[in-house]
Structure 1
Amino acid sequence: MQSGDNESSYWGLKGAEDLGGGMKAIFTLESSFDVTSGQLSDSSRLFAHNAFVGLSSNAFGTLTAGRQYDPTVDLVQQITGDAMAGALFTTPGDVDNNDNSFWVNNSIKYTSPVYGGFQYELMYGFGGIAGNTTGGQMYGAAASYNNGGLTVAAGYLFARNDVDGRGAADLNRSNSVVPLYGDISMYGSRQIIQAAVQYAVGDLTANLRYGNAQYKPYANYGAFNRTETYNIGGAALQYQITPALSGAISYVYTHSSGASSATYNNAGVNFTYSLSKRTNLYAEAGYSHASGTTFSDDGSAIVAAGGTIGSLGPSASTRSQVATIVGITHKF
């Protein structure tokens, strides 16, 4: 058994105080946990999912501060296959943060109002490393446009590690994330660009996405001695078969280049049945086939790439992997 796939298990508190003139003070505290054991998903944080406060205005937008998602998650991820079926429909190892496994600590984020279908977000993360103004630093931006059934979005994320190799990705991420290769402390910085387009007509929704992720080594880790670049292309299709039953399929192509070179072909299928507005049953399957080479866990050697299904991570060292999941989601 495992906790959550389509959606993570978490509980939270949200609040708002009307300050008058269309202005509100807001806060969100969310704690993720493993429903199979009751343990926190991140033992080092009580509110690992989100923890922020801010001001919201109908006319001027929203300004928040704390631990929160980066702009690409808010505006781009929502129109990709990951929003349809979670981990099985996302990028192997979640190297481009399409499955929102990355949070930003000590951050300030501005979300604009919607202007004729257009919206944008800006974010800066201070890092919080004493004596190091750039350690753990992060900045990002994203924008989206919606017109009828058409939505397009694009975003940028840059995260820097600190001088000890304990990077922003380690400081800010969820402990459940399994990197596609190596230990997270090997990364000196990562840069991610994402773009997506989605069109919905009647009961049918289709989307396409592109991602580019670049990982630079913190230091010379043997084989991992220069920038590793991932190019990702994905497509997903969802159809509302009946008012209660929906089906979705996805395909994700990922190619890495640099000191190593690997190609991942991933496919997934999902069926979701709504028992009520708050409770869903789902069944899904994912397949991954890898070719080429990648890094060993410590970055010291080049090894054969193994199949990796979305953000679930590799379960064996074989070229191909298959995963089947049945589950229930209840919202309260």
Structure 2
Amino acid sequence: MKRLAISSLIAATLGVASTAQAQSSVTLYGMIDEAVAHYSNVGHASLVALQGGDYSGNQWGLKGTEDLGGGLKAIFNLQNGFNINTGTLSQGGREFGKMAWVGLASDSLGSIRLGRQYDPTVDLIQPLTPDRYSPAFSTPGDADNNDNSFRVDNSIKYTSPTYGGLQYELMYGLGGVAGNISSQETSSVAALYTHGGLSLAAGYVFAKNDGAAGLGTADQTQNNSVTPLFGNTPFVGSRLISQAAAQYVIGPFTANVRYSNARWKPYANYAAFNQTETFNIGGTSFAYQLSPAVLLNIGYNYTRSSGASSATYQTVAAGTEYSLSVRTTLYAIGAYSHAHGTTFSEDGNSIIAAGGTVGDLESSSSSPNQLVLMLGITTKF
């Protein structure tokens, strides 16, 4: 009788453990990307280098859910960014620089997340743009955050359920400044509507870096000479970025178009960068799934800056992806950029000639043109 009781207890315990395991999970995941890249001109010379993250960012992370019952779940995601060629941390040396958040999700009410995370325009609009194929297809200097150069600290984000194809997100990053609730804040709103093969999205993000040395809840953007300050001088001011995108998928064909307006407003006294610099960006791309393993894509980006400085950047990019498996892909990308006009020096104190710039991959060219060729591999786990 005692043996029967003990056997029943063991069986019951195992059953509870099995049920608990089915109700919660923790997943280790990641992506590793590496490429050989050739630049016709970086600063004043050609460059051949190993360069990770040309196709997708190098990252690993932990994410999980716990079923709390009644359609409610606890959720979290910790994602690290790293440099594959040096093994060092990215995003300013943060342990989980790409994202670090915890929250609750409801089947009927949506989700709320707290921590460091992407803003709603990155979540809902960017997937409809050419940036999905590589930063080479994105905005020079990433002046409009189309390649998600910045994340938002101390943020609260709400994601709605999908209502008849419509979903929206709201975010607010708390500046945490005593006596001034708006200082260092970030706010963002975006919405996505999908019906069949058609997807439409629009939104904005407003980031205020008005703290000491440009401190704010949003990261600095200092990629290359397209943006007003790209050296060691911090940007003190605000960025207001409005975006819209449309995509249509029919069979093996995918076409998209996008527009964004980015306004960089200085709050400090820079000699040349002394008024709001406005970037108007238009982009389009076309992709064809030649076979289950082969994808071909081509894109065009037009960027115009105006304000204290004025320049135009035109970029054409083309690429192909070959899937060796569901996890591993080989890729080849070529891009050419031509610039005309003027931009700012690194410290924002003088005007210089604008140089050709392919996305936010490397420094701008010392000439009006820049050509980039890349061969790479990416694998997921």
Band the TM-score falls in, shorter-chain normalisation: over 0.9
Q: Give 1:243 shift.
A: 1.1
1:257 and 2:306 aligned? yes
Residue-by-residue CA offset, 1:256-275 (whole Å, 9 max, x unaligned)? 01011100001100100000
CA distance in 2, matches of 1:158, 1:278: 36
Matches within 5 A, 1:145-184: 145-168=193-216, 172-173=218-219, 177-178=223-224, 180-181=226-227, 182-183=229-230
Q: Give 1:279 shift.
A: 0.3
CA distance in 1, matches of 2:336, 2:198: 29
Q: Could you tell me whether the CA contact under 8 Å between 2:74 and 2:105 is conserved in 1?
A: yes
CA distance in 1, matches of 2:375, 2:222: 20
What amino acid maps onto 1:119 in structure 2? Answer: Q
Candidates 256, 265, 277, aligned match of 1:216 = 265
**Residues 156, 252 of structure 1: alpha-carbon distance in 2 compared, 3 angstrom cutoff:** same
Matches within 5 A, 1:293-308: 293-308=342-357
Q: Give 1:207 shift.
A: 0.1
RMSD: 1.5
Matches within 5 A, 1:249-328: 249-328=298-377
What amino acid maps onto 1:228 in structure 2? Answer: E
What amino acid maps onto 1:312 in structure 2? Answer: L
Q: Give 1:108 shift.
A: 0.1
Gaps of 5+ in 1: none
**Residues 179, 12 of structure 1: alpha-carbon distance in 2 compared, 3 angstrom cutoff:** farther
Q: Max radius of gyration: which structure?
A: 2
Gaps of 5+ in 2: 1-49
CA distance in 2, matches of 1:177, 1:103: 15
- Give 1:18's aligned residue: 67
Q: Could you tell me whether the CA contact under 8 Å between 1:186 and 1:221 is conserved in 2?
A: no
How many residues align? The count is 329
CA distance in 2, matches of 1:93, 1:176: 8
Q: Give 1:311 shift.
A: 1.5
**Residues 174, 270 of structure 1: alpha-carbon distance in 2 compared, 3 angstrom cutoff:** farther
Matches within 5 A, 1:23-34: 23-34=72-83
Residue-by-residue CA offset, 1:194-234 (whole Å, 9 max, x unaligned)? 00000000000000000000000121201111000000000
What amino acid maps onto 2:94 in structure 1? Answer: R
What amino acid maps onto 2:219 in structure 1? Answer: R
Q: Could you tell me whether the CA contact under 8 Å between 1:185 and 1:218 is conserved in 2?
A: no
- The alignment partner of 1:74 has SS state of helix
**Residues 176, 10 of structure 1: alpha-carbon distance in 2 compared, 3 angstrom cutoff:** farther
Q: Could you tell me whether the CA contact under 8 Å between 1:246 and 1:273 is conserved in 2?
A: yes
Normalised by the length of structure 2, the TM-score is: 0.83
**Residues 236, 187 of structure 1: alpha-carbon distance in 2 compared, 3 angstrom cutoff:** farther
CA distance in 1, matches of 2:173, 2:81: 22
CA distance in 2, matches of 1:173, 1:179: 17
Q: Give 1:131 shift.
A: 6.0
Q: Could you tell me whether the CA contact under 8 Å between 1:64 and 1:110 is conserved in 2?
A: yes
Structure of higher RCO (CA pairs closer than 8 Å, 6+ residues apart)? 2
- The alignment partner of 1:185 has SS state of coil
